Amino acid sequence: MTQYYQLDSGTNPPIFLRLAKSEVVGTKDAAMLRFFSSTSSSLTINLVPDLIDDPFELQKTAFEAIPPLLLCQYFGKWVVSKDGQIVDSDKDLQKLSGRFFGVNGRVDVYICRVGIEEPTLIRTPFLR
């Protein structure tokens, strides 16, 4: 079973790792990744305490780390962000969704509209 972790290195954008639970040592609150060399010395990398185990939240976090200047070219469009990179865009959400998932299958991504989003209206009252 794998889980997502964020490297505690302070980089921007943050670096995420998908690791098997067996690869991580320590506790949920102080996880560490340890590399072993052939000479039996080891290197330990600290991971942030909060585990990110929701692929959607991971993709959303990675999207939010994209510098705004890199998103300017997509203003007003729907974008597909995968691991903090914009991999497809379109003015029509359903065209984008159909095209992207038709080609790539079910992959973890974050889809949203870039820029000031006008709310889509559902005039039927839906709070009940």
Partner 1 sequence: MPIDTDYQFDPEERDAPSAPMTRVTLIYENRKITCLALLDSGAAITTITEEARRALAPMRNGERLVGGATKSAEFYPLYLVEKLYFSNHEYSNLSLVRLPTDSKIMLIGRDILNKHEILLDGPQEHMTVS
Instruction: Give residues in contact with partner 1 (CB under 8 A).
Output: 56, 60, 93-94, 97-98, 100-102, 106, 108-113, 117-128
Q: Which residues contact 6 (CB under 8 A, 6 or more apart)?
A: 14, 15, 16, 17, 47, 48, 50, 52
- State the nearest-atom distance from the C-beta of 69 to partner 1, in Å: 22
Our CB check for partner 1 shows the closer of 50 and 117 to be: 117
**54: Cα separation from own chain's centroid:** 9
Nearer to partner 1, 69 or 121 (CB): 121
Task: Report the C-alpha gap between 12 and 56 in whole angstroms.
Answer: 19
3-class secondary-structure state, position 101 = helix
Nearest approach, Cβ of residue 106 and partner 1 (Å) = 6
Q: How many Å apart are CA 2 and CA 22, to the nearest integer?
A: 9
- Minimum distance from residue 71 beta carbon to partner 1 (Å): 15
Nearer to partner 1 among residue 68 and residue 102 (C-beta): 102
Identity of the residue, 42 or 124, whose beta carbon is nearer to partner 1 in the bound complex: 124
Give least dist CB 48 to partner 1, A. Answer: 22
Give the closest residue to 74 by CA, choosing from 41, 55, 96: 96
